[in-house]
Amino acid sequence: MSNELLSPAEMSEADRLTIAAGPADGIGLMRRAGGAVAAEVLKRYPSAKHIHVLCGPGNNGGDGYVVARILAGSGVGTSVWVSGAPRPESDAALAAAECPIKPRPLSDFDAKPGSIVIDALYGAGLSKPLSGDAAKAIDTVTALSLPVVAVDLPSGVSGISGDILGRAFRAEVTITFARKKPGHLLLPGRGQCGEIVLADIGIGDGIIAQLAVSTFENVPDLWLQEFPVPAVDAHKYKRGHVGVFSGGPSATGAARLSALAAARSGAGAVTVLSPGNAMQVNAMHLTSIMLREAGSLEEVQEFLMARHPGALVFGPGLGPKPKVGDFALQLIKALEEEARDEATANHASAMVLDADAITSLAHQPQALFEAARQPNAPALIVTPHEGEFGRLFPDIAGDKTMSKLDKARTAAARANAVIVYKGADTVIAAPDGKAAINSNGAPWLATAGSGDVLSGIIAGLLAQGMPPFEGTCAAVWLHAEAGSRFGPGLIAEDLPLALVPVLRELFDARTAAQ
């Protein structure tokens, strides 16, 4: 697998372990990295008349010196501009000594239209705002609209958080090594990277495994082995039953979107749990989705005992009212009590809290967190967008020192829940610290009801037995992939049917791997 995301510190450790294992040494890895960049540049820009290589004083700059040497040896006009000399006897100093081009100070950087820029200034190692000569170079490159190829990560982008530190290059292509970093996928840094090329420089999977990485790119390799494939003798209840709570008569659509998505994602049975005054409205719109009156906790408990659903969706369309939060807590307690009874073979093992449930629980967050820590509590999946996250976790949301990844992790640990911190760079985090960053999102998903569909997909996969973290990651990826493939004109009602071809491909991949 290559879905691990390495922090800059973990990447440095991977380099160290690779060198310690031999036979490669530091300058050997640098030559491979520079060679990979040079090959990509020559492939993409075969007619380039002149290439400017901007080198920093560290290993990123060392890669740049290798690139410049290879490009010059290939007959390309090449200039080298440096922001500082490498440390004596370092690998970067060796690379600089091998480069036949006399370097010039970055303060004198000058370029003409039509040239190419290789950004090998700082990469992912930058920890302070980029300014001075580097910032001036960015202004020059931007004014001339010069294509930029970034080595490892565009200088000015944090490899940890994706934040822009002062200023940053906007690359056409970014070439990184062994594994991506969080800064390649988190916004706004992702928008600075252009196309990302992952180059193999000899850091093997065994080395990466030694790092015990806990951050991943959310791609099918991460969870495909857990993806549900129905057994030959499966019947509808063996395929999982999902219960979705409906709002009142004027707010039933969100629940139906969630319910249909749960069914499309493979749940064998889905029931909309409706207050009495909304039964007629829901009945007019439901066919394959079952309907049951459940306006009180007692009626819900009767449903739980009769049908033993594997997952519940609570929140869409219920209204941001304190009583909704109170009901959610009562429901969690009821599920916990049912699970405590060993005679109950099946019980709702997962509960998705979305939309109005999150806002309603923000009035009593500690009660939610304590309920989630009870020994037999259902697995909770909480799916806030940025505003909802801020309401439920105001101190975490307001901490300027934390990345989105850090915030999601901290929230997941506090809530003892899987957190889906939604956005164009959705982060999924589990209470044990494992996290994934989604990378296939599309702007078409920014439409009313899209989140309700996501909640239904999550519940549908968890009801079929997927573990909470993996099932949630799969749902986020599926939701984004379906929206991305559909494209312009997408509305939430389109998403459940748009899942079908994506599900078919996953099913085929899963069965082929068995």
Per the annotation, where are the binding residues for (6S)-NADPHX?
A: 59-63, 123-129, 152, 254, 317, 385, 452
Q: What is the DSSP letter of 220?
A: G
Specify binding-site residues for AMP: 422-426, 451
Name the one residue in this structure whose structure tokens are 């062994």: 178
Specify binding-site residues for K(+): 60, 119, 155
Compute the distance between CA of residue 151 and CA of residue 2 in angstroms, rounded to an integer.
19
CA 20, distance to chain mean position in Å, is 32
Contact 126, 165 (CB under 8 A): yes
Contact 334, 301 (CB under 8 A): yes
> Is residue 29 classed as helix, strand or coil in its secondary structure?
helix
> Is residue 363 classed as helix, strand or coil in its secondary structure?
coil
Compute the distance between CA of residue 66 and CA of residue 77 in angstroms, rounded to an integer.
15
Residue 116 makes CB contacts below 8 A (sequence gap 6+) with: 41, 45, 48, 50, 51, 52, 146, 147, 148, 149
Q: In what order do the strands lie in the sheet with 195-199?
A: 104-105, 77-82, 50-55, 116-120, 148-151, 173-177, 195-199
Compute the distance between CA of residue 310 and CA of residue 266 in angstroms, rounded to an integer.
13
Compute the distance between CA of residue 119 and CA of residue 150 in angstroms, rounded to an integer.
5
Nearest Cα to 147, choosing from 117, 109, 111?
117
Specify binding-site residues: 59-63, 119, 123-129, 152, 155, 254, 317, 385, 422-426, 451-452
Provide φ and ψ at 352, rounded to 5°: -95, 120
Compute the distance between CA of residue 311 and CA of residue 135 in angstroms, rounded to an integer.
52
Number of residues that make up the chain: 514
Contact 52, 141 (CB under 8 A): no
Element (H, E) at 13: helix 8-21
Beta strands in 405-484 (DSSP E): 418-421, 427-429, 435-438
Element (H, E) at 182: helix 182-185
CA atoms within 13 A on the CB side of 433: 3
> Is residue 106 classed as helix, strand or coil in its secondary structure?
helix
